[in-house]
Homo-oligomer: A and B are copies of this chain.
Amino acid sequence: MTTRVLVVDDEPQIVRALVINLKARHYEVDSAPDGRTALELAASRHPDVVVLDLGLPDMDGVDVIRGLRGWTRVPILVLSARHSSDEKVQALDAGADDYVTKPFGMDELLARLRAAVRRAEPAGPGEDDVTTVETEAFTVDLAAKKVNRGGRDVRLTPTEWHLLEVLVRNTGRLVGQRQLLQEVWGPSYGTETNYLRVYMAQLRRKLETDPAHPRHFITEPGMGYRFERE
């Protein structure tokens, strides 16, 4: 998953320099030339970090910070031509995370950007719940790559785990055999359905209470497989 950056500046050459450097490092980049657009884009695109120039044509930069802080904690990295200590204090106290004065070194800016993103990384309270899935027979922890059954850890081989991962991520949905094969074995494997039969059997044997009558790893004849929580 790549990081999305929103660049806000009214000077095209600055924007261009930033966009080029960021894209070269595999960031996804949006840009806005003024405060209004910036706030709209931030709301619609949900960037992982905002690089904000304070000298905007339509509104005060500090108000942009306040506007963002009203609803999001996305890291804000402020750019400014002003060296005035007062302005820095205002921006930081309004909720900015960092403040860089122009002209800036690209290496430094990128390093500060990495720092800001890194810091915010594990701030996903909405995603912690998705990491573990429970059934009455076993528990899958996607983050730790662990499967627990009756208090004991179950050993899964890489292929078994990969297969389970794809199924669990699509809980309740049918996953076609072609899709399953390609996600686990690679794009060139579309028809080797016997692989699926073998490995589904392994999963059932290791996880189902009664492997002969599976309750969670459901077979949809001719189409694919489905993982059900209950």
Binding-face segment, A13-21, A140-148, A185-193, A205-213:
A140-148
Which residues of A does B touch, CB under 8 Å?
Answer: 85-86, 88-89, 92-93, 95-99, 105, 107-108, 110-112, 114-115, 118-119, 122, 124, 127, 143-146, 155, 157-158, 161, 172-174, 220-223, 226
Are A157 and B222 within 8 A (Cβ)? yes
A146: chain B residues within 8 A (beta carbon): 172-174
8 Å CB contact of A115 from B86, B92, B143: B92
A107 to B127: give the CA distance in the assembly, Å: 31
Alpha-carbon distance between A118 and B92 when the two chains are bound, in angstroms: 10
A127 CB contacts on chain B under 8 angstroms: 122
**Complex Cα–Cα for A226 and B155 (A):** 13
* CA gap between A115 and B116 in the complex, in Å: 12
Q: Is the CB of B157 within 8 A of A174?
A: no
